[in-house]
Chains A and B, each alone.
Chain A
Amino acid sequence: MKIRKYFLFLLAVLFSTCAKTPEIDNAAMLDGDQIFDLSLTHPEDYLISAKYPNPNEIQKNTPVIIAAHGYSASTFEWDELREFADRQGTFFVSQVLLGGHWKTYADFKKAAWQDWQLPIVNEYNKLSELGYKKIYVIGSSTGCPLIINMVKSGIFHQGVKPKGIFLIDPIVISSNKTLTLVSALGPVLGFTTTELSDGEKGHWYVYRPYQSLSQLMQLIDLTRKDLEKDITLPEGTFMKTYKSTVDDSADPVSAVLIYKGMATSGGAKTEVEMVSSKLHVFTRLKGRDGVTQADRDLQSRVFAEIEGRVTK
């Protein structure tokens, strides 16, 4: 009888934790129903397909980089590259908002990783159909396994083959190894909370529902397994991976797996550069606390290198 009571108590605790939903400050959080990514209301400021839906020959021949952000982030993560591109005037950046990363916590909770990927595929297909000839793709963090999956699935063979792919701090192995237990711990915890700096508030989800973390785990686990076999880039496409040597989100060993698992169409290894940084997605400095001159120098150097590669 006593045991039964304890069992019922345990079940009650479990159910009460499962039902847990975060307290969302609608006025301040991306998780709420008032703050949206601006690309939803002003797509022409973010997506090149919306900005130049009828491109002229010059625009068609201008390199355009489709930029995919990371898990629980927003287009904000690539603002600095777009601003750099605007200043240089030599290439375009098309900032894609990942699926499910819009509107509310509820949207985020129910989206599968395939939903996250869809806007990248859509923008690539649109640019391809509109006649853009020099398409590149760049991903940060979770944007990277989504792009690797597009390579693996042959999506880039459908239209204009991308000339190059850049991966910034790709995640294939999470630094937080508790993520591997998300299917067991998730239903009990309900969600996790992320600490954001003042400059990051409103641009990242504060709360990460376990359903969504579970999708992240599925995506990176699939990517790891795909990389264990060989993934070959489309003909004429190069790939360069930049990886911080210290990273509390995407384990640096992710770069090893990409180096071992990806090859050009000619069978050569793809380029990897291990960069001396402790920042996850070192190309995004806006909104961060404690940015150093070395961080700024690294960002400038990599942006210049990206420009050099796409305008060559």
Chain B
Amino acid sequence: MKKMIFLFAFFVFTAYVSAQFTKNYKLSAGIVSQKTQKLYWENGVGADYTSDFLLQKRIHLKAAFVTSRLGSAMGSNAIKQETFVVGADWRFRPTRPFQIFTGLNTGFFKANYEDPMFDMLPNSSVLAQFEGGVAYHFNWPVSLFASFGYNFLSGNGKQGPGTLFPVFYQLKAYYTIK
């Protein structure tokens, strides 16, 4: 019986949250370009979601995927690596075209060293990032973002992938879907 009550409460809560999330929401998606300080260019895609439920669009939820395969490793010997992050930003001036944001991300990093000889080296890691930057929302459904980020976990020769560096910069161009 207790289980049933819990499941019912969970169902009602989920339904309520998803209704609120989708009420007057804003969803954007587009391309992400990332440059790591003293390392690679990595490019990919990302999305950004907010709604009135998220403190009147002050909180934005986001996800991004970038890979060096679409950057420095294209036609070169650079290491092929992927980064997937999800995170949340806090927006200052959420109703203005020009906004400042800061947030935290988590996610996963994986590098491909290609030869089995290097299998003993760490090549993947969980990510913990700080990110802060600026966003500009045009009158037409396009937004541009420029940010600076810091990886709290990076490779140090003993643990962590060697090409997971601390500081990175991102440029994003998103189209507003709704």
Contacts and interface: CB of A to CB of B under 8 A. Distances in A.
B170 interface: no
B77 A245 contact: no
A11 interface: no
Contacts of B162: 173, 175, 251-254, 256
B7 interface: no
Interface residues of A, number: 32
A248 B162 CA distance: 11
A255 B113 CA distance: 10
Contacts of A291: none
Contact of A175 (B38, B39, B77, B157): B157
A251 B78 contact: no
Size band of the interface chain B makes with A: 20 to 34
Contact of B77 (A217, A247, A261, A274): A261
A180 interface: yes
Nearest to B38: A180
A272 B119 CA distance: 13
Contacts of A255: 118
A255 B39 CA distance: 16
B77 A180 contact: no
A33 interface: no
Contacts of B125: none
Given A246-B157, A251-B157, A272 B117 contact: yes
A217 B37 CA distance: 12
Chain B interface main SS type: loop
A253 B77 contact: no
Contact of A217 (B38, B76, B166): B38
A120 interface: no
Interface in A242-267: 245-257, 259-261
- Please indicate which of the listed interface residues A180, A253, A259 has the most CB atoms of chain B within 10 Å of its own CB: A253
Contact of A260 (B111, B114, B155, B158): B114
Contacts of A261: 77
- Please indicate which of the listed interface residues B77, B155, B163 has the most CB atoms of chain A within 10 Å of its own CB: B77
Contacts of B77: 227-230, 257, 260-261
Contacts of B155: 175, 177, 251, 253
Contact of A180 (B37, B113, B120): B37
A259 to B, nearest CB: 7
A145 to B, nearest CB: 14
Interface in B7-44: 37-39
A227 B77 CA distance: 7
Contacts of A221: 38
B72 A228 contact: yes
Contact of A245 (B78, B121, B156): B121
B120 A181 contact: no
B118 A256 contact: yes
Interface in B129-178: 154-158, 161-163, 165-167
Given A221-B38, A256-B118, A176 B156 contact: yes
A173 B78 CA distance: 12
Nearest to A173: B162
Contacts of A260: 77, 79, 114
Interface string B67-80: 00000100011110
B118 A250 contact: no
Given A252-B162, A260-B77, A247 B117 contact: no
B166 A181 contact: yes
A221 B37 CA distance: 11
Interface in B95-138: 111, 113-115, 117-118, 120-121
Given A252-B157, A253-B113, A260-B114, 13 more contacts: A175-B158, A178-B166, A180-B166, A180-B167, A181-B37, A221-B38, A229-B77, A245-B120, A248-B158, A251-B162, A255-B118, A259-B117, A272-B117
List the 5 closest pairs (A to B, CB-CB), nearest first.
A253-B162, A175-B157, A251-B162, A180-B38, A260-B77
Interface of B: 37-39, 72, 76-79, 111, 113-115, 117-118, 120-121, 154-158, 161-163, 165-167
28 contacts: A173-B163, A175-B162, A176-B156, A177-B154, A177-B156, A177-B166, A180-B38, A224-B39, A228-B72, A230-B77, A245-B120, A247-B158, A249-B157, A251-B155, A252-B157, A252-B162, A253-B79, A253-B111, A253-B121, A253-B155, A255-B118, A256-B118, A256-B162, A259-B117, A260-B79, A260-B114, A274-B118, A274-B121
